[in-house]
Structure 1
């Protein structure tokens, strides 16, 4: 074999420096190969050392198998780590879930215990509070009222209890003084039993009294202050009544309820509310106007409020019941065709100083805007009643006397005897006879 084809060849006869037989390699390379091959240089270097630590590269197949084993090993390690992490996460989730269950259970238990304690009035402060229940109170209104007064502490529990056990129709309107240590059942029984109204008070109100006089008498009998009653008489708290709801000009009146507080004898209680007291008057007014009288008012050509206003003037001017019907006829005549007789207003002295009863009660120089000596507009009537008329005066306002159909003037002497006249000349003669000139 030529030298060109030989890469290297062993020299079997060579011996090492110690004289012992050994196997040596002899590397024969051309100068060109030495200069161009880094592999050859490496081999030459290895040859000089006497050995060739040579490791050939892996084939592509061997490399693929090696990579696959490495990936399998890494995947196994990854799965192992995931299992460890999963066990750790499971423990954290379990602990968190248990903590949440315990927390929610504690919250629900605390809520239910609080509701149960309120239901039984356990731990509630012991004191007395004032509770005012309106007419036709709803469950929501009652719950809020009691909560605001600290009679209950858990409104949602009380509302649920009322929904399941209580008829709201049985609650009695009024002002109550209740203890805050009452359980739900005792509290409801207290409010459905009615307030402690105190002793009974009987008060008589004569016909023709004004609202201010009503209020003063009520105050004298210990039934609220005059100011409280007068304020209520101008409120909208009583618009549920048919008569009051039809008042067309409440803002023009001195007192909205003037004329509608029916005069009578009433039994009140010391602790009656202002609303309860005025309701008694207004209910009586509604009941006294029967269907026949209401029908006659409807066909009279006047509204109910105008009839009440006219009746109040009749009440203040008349000496007796028969006189009421004659004065009614005279006032109707003036309102109907007074201008044809040079009479342009009602000219009733009783209207001069309202809401005062007389000049001595009124401030000096005072003239009421209700004065019928003034031009009272198209109707000829003042804006409202000047007192609270009785049933006779109301009936007279609707049914004027036919005997008085020709009269336009009237007056009374010191004893209350009436005089009627058709002309001014006759009226002047009557004034002289009555001692009024």
Structure 2
């Protein structure tokens, strides 16, 4: 959306609307009924906001709602519950009473603007407040009671129960089971909370011990814990293997077919994870999932949904890739996808951790502006058709398409590092945490700056050189000594 500043008059208007909304949301149900006409008027005014006004309104509403939530937590912690319902602040009440005197909407907004798609990430509490005016009459809960529902203050009698969640049950079904057991008071609010937290795929099935004095966050934490009575299969994914090998191992374990795994991993919606929303969408990339399947050992539930299995693997990447790492990627001038692509090449070229930062330094030298060697020329992604070589195009992409001649030309052109300047279209494997961490340390290597070549021998030694002549002399020496890899 293009930035557009609101006039002071517009800003004041939308802030008053937000204050009025919060005031109404906090009123007990009895008083809300008295303000039915005003509520209808408020809805009408909100519907007429432009996208820019709606943005400012949301920001103010978020600020006010955080204040209300803080008050709710303080009230819950008090040993003596308040007898009087939570009332709006005096200045908010005054603004409500003078709503008729608030600035009129600008004339150019007489026609209703197109509906703005609601943004995620505001937090479930905020959106619940947004929905209060609509649903309070249906479920009989005012803002104060919703706060108590979320924070675990649901009554003087504490109910404890074992709740059974069936396999495949959705948030509403689970909420209904919790409501019937007396753990929560509203299955609908539970469903909204789960949706807005984005944890639905992580909810497990089985038997859960719960209590009515638990907060919604505590309940969800329990519901995400795998149950011991479910059969599991353990699968190990080594660092540096490509996505197709992840899929093959899942099929060999009897958990799903390789095709099912790749379909979900490449085409599923995993926007609940931070990394997923930071990836580049490159039309020339072989597989969207490549690079983000975190190599580790996992226990998967037999018969579980394939989405949940993939989410478990993606979730580990999301956990391991820290904010500090994102910051360092930005400092490199890379996108996340570019960084993971480089780390995957480092994983394949360097193998062990000892020389990963050094290899990353050489590649960063080649990627630098005005580099005398602008191509990576990594045999791990090249035109070479040698089954004994570790070549992503020949050993991974070609078999997937049924042979080299069947590979789409745009894929070959964008993954051949001898042909394309800079990085290939996407990662060539799934690097481990060590490879990614060491790639971020490229500037600490003594070879960062003007070393553009390296070669290894069969003994595992690495040799770094500045010029093509020095590099070729090193290769000739290794050949003469019989230590040149075949």
Question: TM-score normalised to the size of structure 1?
Answer: 0.55
Match of 1:390 in 2: 432
Partner in structure 2 of residue 122 of structure 1: none
Instruction: Write the distance in 1 (CA, Å) between the matches of 2:374 and 2:229.
Output: 52
The correspondence for 1:402, drawn from 437, 445, 448, is: 445
Looking at structure 1, the residues matched to 376 and 187 of structure 2 have their Cα atoms a distance apart, in angstroms, of 62
Contact 2:168 2:205 in 1 (8 A): yes
Matched, 1:363 2:408: no
Cα distance change, pair 396–195 in 1 and its aligned pair in 2 (3 A): closer
Cα distance in 2 between the residues matched to 1:192 and 1:417: 47
Structure 2: distance between partners of 1:392 and 1:408: 23
Give matches, 1:267-416, under 5 Å: 267-337=299-369, 339-341=370-372, 343-352=373-382, 353-354=391-392, 356-357=394-395, 363-364=403-404, 368-369=412-413, 370-376=415-421, 380-400=422-442, 401-405=444-448, 406-416=450-460
> Number of matched residues?
274
Give the alignment of 1:149-164 within 5 angstroms.
none
CA distance in 2, matches of 1:358, 1:235: 19
Residues 311 and 394 in structure 1, CA contact (< 8 A), matched pair in contact too: yes
Q: Taking structure 1 as reference, are residues 420 and 310 closer, same or farther at Cα in structure 2, changes over 3 Å only?
A: same
CA separation of 1:172/1:265 partners in 2, compared to 1, >3 Å: closer, same or farther? Answer: closer
Alignment check: 8 A CA contact 2:175 2:186 kept: no
Q: Residue 356 of structure 1: CA displacement?
A: 4.8
Classify 1:304/1:142 alpha carbon distance in 2 versus 1 (closer, same or farther; 3 Å).
same
What's the counterpart of residue 168 of structure 2?
Answer: 132
Q: Which runs of 5+ in 2 are unaligned?
A: 1-165, 195-199, 207-222, 383-390
Q: Distance in 2 between matches of 1:350 and 1:193?
A: 40
Residue number among 239, 242, 257 corresponding to 1:210 in the alignment: 242
Distance between the aligned counterparts of 2:229 and 2:338, measured in 1? 37
2:284 to 243, 247, 252: 252
**Distance in 1 (alpha carbons) for counterparts of 2:299 and 2:420:** 41
Once residues 243 and 355 of structure 2 are traced to their aligned partners in structure 1, the CA distance between those partners, rounded to angstroms, is 24
Deviations 1:106-149 (A, max 9, x none): xxxxxxxxxxxxxxxxxxxxxxxx97345xx346x999xxxxxx
**1:237 to 1:416, Cα distance in 2 relative to 1, 3 A:** same
Q: Distance in 2 between matches of 1:307 and 1:173?
A: 28
Query: RMSD value over aligned CA atoms?
Result: 3.7
Larger Rg: 1
**Structure 1 residue 357: Cα displacement:** 3.2
TM-score (norm 2): 0.50
Query: After superposition, where does 1:2-41 map in structure 2 within 5 Å?
Result: none
Q: Secondary structure at the match of 1:208?
A: coil
Residues 46-84 of structure 1, C-alpha deviations (whole Å, 9 max, x = no match): xxxxxxxxxxxxxxxxxxxxxxxxxxxxxxxxxxxxxxx
Which residue matches 2:151?
none
Aligned-residue offset at 1:396: 2.3
Unaligned segments of structure 1, at least 5 residues: 1-129, 144-157, 178-190
Partners of 1:203 and 1:409 in 2: CA distance: 37
Moved more, 277-286 or 236-245: 236-245
Q: 1:309 Cα deviation (Å)?
A: 0.6
**Residues 1:165 and 1:260: Cα distance change in structure 2 (over 3 Å):** closer
- 2:469 aligns with 425
Which shifted more, 255-264 or 162-171? Answer: 162-171
Quick check: 1:233–1:255 contact (8 Å CA) kept in 2? no
Which residue is equivalent to 2:47?
Answer: none
